[in-house]
Amino acid sequence: MNKKATMTNRERIEAILAHKKPDRVPIWPFAYGGFATVYTGTSISDAYNKPKVAYEAQKKTCLDFDWVFTPWIGYAAYGGWEFGGEIKWPSGEYAQAPTVARLPVETVDDVWKLKAPEVATAGIIPIVTEFMEIAAKEQLDNEPFKFMCACMGPFNTAGMIAGPDMLCKWVIKKPDAAHRLIRLATDHMKDLADYWADKFGLESSLAFTGEAIATGQLISAKQFEQFVLPYFQEAHQYILDRGYKHIYCHQCGEQNANLEHWAKIPYGNPGIISIGHEVELETAGKYFPNDVILGNLEPAIIQSSTPDKVYEATRKNIQDGMAKCPGGYVFSPGCELPPMASVENVKAMGQAVEDYGWY
């Protein structure tokens, strides 16, 4: 611990969630995927299909870099495998995450025949369960929660069941089919929330949701209002009623036009809103004045820039976040920390927080 530090990383998050100021801005990076496994000398695919390796990699990485640690396995293509399709693990030099190799749904008829999967055996869930059983055995000084419970997102999961392009077309051409898929995905979110709560309790669980497809790069704010908002409202309310205190929600990509809708969704008291670099911290702070904003350094900068530039971009980010997020601010990349980011660049992020992040 740094000489100035009066709190552990766990205490920092606990303070922010209690609407109090921590001693310093915490770093809670989106580093659950390949960065941790690459850093610790294994492969990107290990981050998704080797629970013990993934857990140890996340743990070591978070300790080495003085980060908040909330063990988690999840992936943006969630839904394709879980609803009956097939997955391809990342392999080769340039792949970053699992992808859907065969969609479970190809036609509208398939949609009406599709049934929600049994959670315990769905796709990656047995792997995640094993991972969480490992995580449940300890809670370190940098762990505000023993794990994040993956509940995913309704539109995103639907997009991975039928393919994002097909879902986009059905939004216009076959809205009943689109709604049916999103309904199944929403019910599955609730099933996931129940499954994790029943299996691991709620004492130290943080619910995770997110959307990577329902962005302004793909759909309009009006389509978001019709096909995303009501389902997220329903799923989040269910998760909170189930007893989860906070929801960590990753709102990926361009969301500026959707913020008025995102702001109508319950996240707990407070919620934890993870935003991409496309949304200004000040804007997020205005839409979510009572929630913790987590973000939002552009991942490509961390990977492709120099340590000096990463340091400078982080400095600006944390100064904005500290001043303009009244519900609390946590530093993070705006999306997944690039697996191939250099250690020097990642250290530059931490150095900027160390130099400018004290309250």
Could you list the residues that contact other proteins (CB under 8 A)? 34, 44, 90, 92-97, 99, 164-165, 168-169, 171-173, 216-220, 223, 253, 257, 299-300, 303-304, 336, 338-341
- Reduced to 3 states, what is the DSSP secondary structure of residue 274? strand
DSSP three-state, residue 25: coil
Q: Are 17 and 246 in contact (CB under 8 A)?
A: yes
CB of residue 330 to other proteins, shortest distance in Å:
21
| Residue with smaller CB distance to other proteins, 71 or 338 | 338
> What span, in angstroms and rounded, lies between the C-alpha atoms of 340 and 277?
19
In the bound complex, what is the minimum distance in angstroms from residue 2's beta carbon to other proteins?
29
Nearer Cβ to other proteins, position 134 or 257?
Answer: 257
Nearer to other proteins, 6 or 91 (CB): 91
Cβ 50 to other proteins shortest distance, Å = 18
Residues 113, 102: Cα–Cα separation, whole Å: 17
Please tell me the distance from the alpha carbon of residue 178 to that of residue 142, in angstroms, as a whole number.
41
DSSP 85-133: -EEE---TTT--S-EEEE-S--SHHHHHH--PPPGGGSTTHHHHHHHHH
Q: Which of 353, 339, 354 is nearest to 30 (CA)?
A: 339
Minimum distance of other proteins from residue 25's CB (angstroms): 23
Q: Is the peptide bond before 296 cis (omega within 30 degrees of 0)?
A: yes
* Nearest to other proteins of 103, 292 (CB atom): 103
Do 152 and 189 touch, CB atoms closer than 8 A? yes
Considering the complex, what minimum distance in angstroms separates the CB of residue 214 from other proteins?
A: 11
- Which CB, 119 or 212, lies closer to other proteins? 212
95 or 263: whose CB is closer to other proteins?
A: 95
Smallest distance, other proteins to C-beta of residue 173, A: 6
Amino acid at 136: A
> What minimum distance in Å lies between the beta carbon of 44 and other proteins?
7
Q: Quick one: 339 or 357, whose CB is closer to other proteins?
A: 339
Burial class from Cβ neighbours inside 10 Å (0-12, 13-18, 19+) for residue 246 reads buried
The strand pair at 247-251 and 272-275 is best described as parallel
